[in-house]
Amino acid sequence: DGTYVTSLAPSLLVESLGFILDLHQGSGEEQILEVRRLLEPTAVEQACPHLDEADFARLEQLMVDLSEHSSVEELVQADIEFHQLITSRCPNDYLSSMLEGLASATARARVWRGLTEASAVDATLAEHRRILDALRLRRGDLARVHAAAHIGGVESWILKGAAVD
């Protein structure tokens, strides 16, 4: 019929990605986490010089608001907000938009981990602390490593569960 040119706006990318992820709801979470593990550390590193004191204060508050008494839903919501705030400062709009769509697609896996893993809150806070400390030091390279380890922990947990099933 011909060639059609459509908008490549980042927001439209998220819409398309969201549609695809909705079609696969409940399956493929380990693959989505693998994509996050490959892409998000780069976004974290690129975001590092663009975070300001207000961002750091918000990231700190997200961690302060959590405790061993927090619900799993509160933990996951804070985790999503923590990651989205950082990646939203990545200067690559397409990368940050794509990660925004992927983050919500893995929320179910994170809730399940929080329900079944006794130390999920403590582990998440410790991992977030390492990422945040590296960002505050303007060490994007270290933040990248810590972000990969953080996402990799959830990915490993899912893979371990799949091996048991």
Checking if the pLDDT of 30 tops 60, the result is: yes
pLDDT digits (tens, 9 = 90+) for 7-23: 555 555 555 444 444 44
Instruction: Give the mean pLDDT of the chain.
Output: 81
Q: How far apart are the first and last CA of the chain?
A: 47
Give how far the C-alpha of residue 93 lies from the chain's centroid of Cα atoms, to the nearest Å: 16
pLDDT digits (tens, 9 = 90+) for 85-116: 999 999 999 999 989 888 777 766 666 666 56
The pLDDT value recorded for residue 71 is 80
SS3 73: helix
Residues 6+ apart with CB under 8 A from 115: 72
Cβ-proximal residues to 159 (8 Å cutoff; 6+ apart), any chain: 30
State both tokens at 42: 């780069």
Distance CA 36, CA 32 (A): 6
CA distance 60 to 129: 9
Angle (nearest 5°) at CA 151 between 17 and 123: 135
Give the integer Cα–Cα distance in Å for 138 and 116.
35
The span from the CA of 161 to the CA of 40, in Å, is 23
Q: Which of 65, 76, 57 is nearest to 135 (CA)?
A: 57
What is the rounded radius of gyration, in angstroms, for the C-alpha atoms of the chain? 16
Please report, for residues 2, 100, 103, 132, 136, the alpha-carbon distance to residue 53 in angstroms, rounded to integers and kept in the order given: 50, 22, 24, 12, 9
pTM of the complete model:
0.79
